[in-house]
C-alpha cells in the first residue's frame, strides 16, 4: 500500500478522534449532559441568562406534547368583588415588624395575603391575628417542585395548618404553589408528572374537606397540557376553590390573551380566578432549541460523565432561538403597575389581582 495514502488515512483518523484522545481541562467542561434524558428527548433547550449559560431542558416534539386550546366567552361584569392580593415568601423579613407591614399593606388596599409557612407555626400567629383584625384574608402557602414526586411534607403541613386553625380561626385558606415543570425531566415524562400532580391536588382537596378554602397557583400555559381529555388548567379549576394564574406580562392585552381560557372556563363554572403580576427584577433569557443529534455530535465522555464541548454562543447549531425580555414580563421600575391593578376585567370569574411579591415591593419601594 502506498505510504502516502497510509499517512493521509492516519491523519484523517486522528482528526476525527480528536474528542476521544484530547484531555479536556475542567474549566472547558462546564455543561454536563444527562445522557439518559437526552436519549428520551427529541431536542433540548439551552438557556443563557444575562449572556451566560444557565441550564438545559429536555423536550419531546412540541406537536406531540402540547395541544393548542381556545375557549371563548362574552364579556360580563365579575360576580365577585375584586380583591388585591400579594405573596409573602420570606417571613423572617417581617418578623417583629408585623404591625408595620400590615399597616403598609392596608394602605396599598391589599386585602389578601398568601404567606409562605414552615413547621414553626407559632411565630406566624401575631401576623395572622393582626391581619384578621384589619380585614385582610391570609392563606397559608407552601409547595416545592419535588412535592409532585413525594407530597408527604406538603400534606403534613396542610394537616398541621388545619389543626392550628381550629384554635385560632385566623387562616382563611391553604394555597399550593407546586411547579413540577422546574424538574429537568418534566417535559420528557409529561404524562407521568401530570398524573402525579393531579393525584396530589386531589389528595389535598380531600384532606381540606371544605374546612378551609383551597387555592392553587398555575402558569398560564397549563391549558396547553391535556389531562383526561381536558386542559390541565380546567381540571385544576374544577378541583380548587380559587385559582391564581401566573399571567406575567406588562401589556394588558397580552395578560388577557394568555389567561383568556382560564377566565372563560372559570366563568362558566363560576369559580373565582385571580391574575398575578410580576414586580421583581428579572434577567434577560436567551433560548436555543437544538436537535438531539446535534448535541450528540458535540459531546465528550470524561471521568464517566458526558459533557457538551460547544455552546450556541461558540458555534453549536440550533434550529430556533428566542429571547424572554424582562420588560415584557415584570413591572420592575414600571409605574404602570398601579394603572393595571385598578382595572376590573370583564369576565364573570375575575376575582382580582395578585402581586408577586412583597419582597419586590421592599426592593423597589413600589408605592402608588
Distance, in Å, from the CA atom of 341 to the CA atom of 86, rounded to the nearest integer, reads 12
Same domain? For 87 and 123 the reply is yes
Cα 48 from chain centre: 18
Same domain? For 313 and 330 the reply is no
Same domain? For 334 and 208 the reply is yes
Proportion of the chain above pLDDT 90, given as a percent:
87
133-176: per-residue pLDDT in tens? 999 999 999 999 999 999 999 999 999 999 999 999 999 999 99
CB 172 within 8 A of CB 139: yes
Distance, in Å, from the CA atom of 291 to the CA atom of 97, rounded to the nearest integer, reads 52
Question: Model-level pTM?
Answer: 0.92
CB 297 within 8 A of CB 308: no
The predicted pLDDT at position 252 comes to 98
Structural domain span for residue 214: 83-282+326-364
Same domain? For 161 and 110 the reply is yes
Same domain? For 32 and 154 the reply is no
Query: Is residue 181 a part of any domain in this protein?
Result: yes
Q: Say whether 3 sits in a helix, a strand or coil.
A: helix
Residue environment code for 102-118, b if the CB has 16+ CB neighbours within 10 A, otherwise e: bebbeebebbbbbbbbe
How much is the mean pLDDT over the chain?
A: 92
CB 361 within 8 A of CB 279: yes
Same domain? For 313 and 166 the reply is no
Helices 98-107 and 125-133 sit at what angle, rounded to 10 degrees?
A: 30
Same domain? For 97 and 50 the reply is no
Query: Is residue 236 a part of any domain in this protein?
Result: yes
Same domain? For 332 and 357 the reply is yes
Task: Give the number of domains in the chain.
Answer: 2
Helices 252-269 and 232-239 sit at what angle, rounded to 10 degrees?
A: 50
Lowest mean pLDDT, pick from 61-70, 104-113, 307-316: 61-70
Confidence band for 347, pLDDT divided at 50, 70 and 90: very high
Distance, in Å, from the CA atom of 368 to the CA atom of 352, rounded to the nearest integer, reads 17
Q: Give the bridge partners for 273, in sequence order.
A: 243, 350
Same domain? For 117 and 209 the reply is yes
Same domain? For 183 and 228 the reply is yes
Phi, psi of 129 (to 5 degrees): -70, -45
Report the pLDDT averaged over residues 339-361.
97
Amino acid at each position: 500500500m502506498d505510504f502516502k495514502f497510509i499517512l493521509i488515512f492516519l491523519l484523517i483518523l486522528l482528526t476525527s478522534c480528536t474528542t476521544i484522545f484530547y484531555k479536556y481541562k475542567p474549566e472547558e467542561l462546564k455543561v454536563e449532559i444527562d445522557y439518559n434524558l437526552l436519549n428520551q428527548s427529541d431536542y433540548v433547550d439551552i438557556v443563557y441568562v444575562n449572556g451566560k449559560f444557565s441550564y438545559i431542558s429536555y423536550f419531546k416534539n412540541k406537536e406531540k406534547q402540547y395541544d393548542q386550546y381556545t375557549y371563548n366567552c362574552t364579556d360580563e361584569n365579575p360576580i365577585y368583588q375584586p380583591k388585591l392580593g400579594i405573596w409573602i415568601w420570606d417571613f423572617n423579613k417581617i418578623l417583629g415588624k408585623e404591625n408595620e407591614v400590615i399597616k403598609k399593606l392596608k394602605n396599598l388596599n391589599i386585602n389578601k395575603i398568601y404567606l409562605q409557612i414552615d413547621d414553626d407555626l407559632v411565630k406566624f400567629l401575631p401576623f395572622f391575628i393582626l391581619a384578621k383584625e384589619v380585614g385582610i384574608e391570609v392563606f397559608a402557602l407552601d409547595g416545592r417542585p419535588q412535592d409532585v414526586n413525594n407530597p408527604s411534607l406538603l400534606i403534613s403541613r396542610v394537616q398541621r395548618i388545619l389543626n392550628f386553625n381550629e384554635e385560632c380561626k385566623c387562616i382563611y385558606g391553604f394555597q399550593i404553589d407546586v411547579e413540577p415543570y422546574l424538574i429537568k425531566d418534566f417535559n420528557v415524562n409529561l404524562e407521568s408528572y401530570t398524573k402525579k400532580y393531579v393525584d396530589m391536588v386531589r389528595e389535598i382537596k380531600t384532606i381540606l374537606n371544605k374546612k378551609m378554602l383551597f387555592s392553587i397557583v398555575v402558569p398560564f400555559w397549563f391549558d396547553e397540557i391535556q389531562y383526561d381529555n381536558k386542559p390541565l388548567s380546567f381540571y385544576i379549576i374544577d378541583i380548587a376553590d380559587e385559582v391564581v394564574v401566573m399571567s406575567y406580562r406588562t401589556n394588558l392585552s397580552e395578560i388577557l390573551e394568555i389567561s383568556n381560557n382560564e377566565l372563560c372556563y372559570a366563568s362558566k363554572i363560576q369559580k373565582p380566578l385571580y391574575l398575578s403580576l410580576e414586580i421583581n427584577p428579572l434577567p434577560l433569557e436567551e433560548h436555543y432549541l437544538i436537535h438531539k443529534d446535534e448535541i450528540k455530535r458535540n459531546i465528550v465522555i470524561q471521568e464517566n460523565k458526558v459533557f457538551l464541548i460547544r455552546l450556541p454562543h461558540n458555534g453549536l447549531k440550533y434550529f430556533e432561538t428566542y429571547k424572554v425580555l424582562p420588560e415584557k414580563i415584570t413591572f420592575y421600575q414600571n409605574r404602570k403597575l398601579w394603572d393595571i391593578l385598578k382595572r376590573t376585567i370583564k369576565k364573570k370569574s375575575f376575582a382580582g389581582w395578585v402581586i408577586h411579591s412583597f419582597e419586590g415591593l421592599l426592593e423597589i419601594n413600589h408605592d402608588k
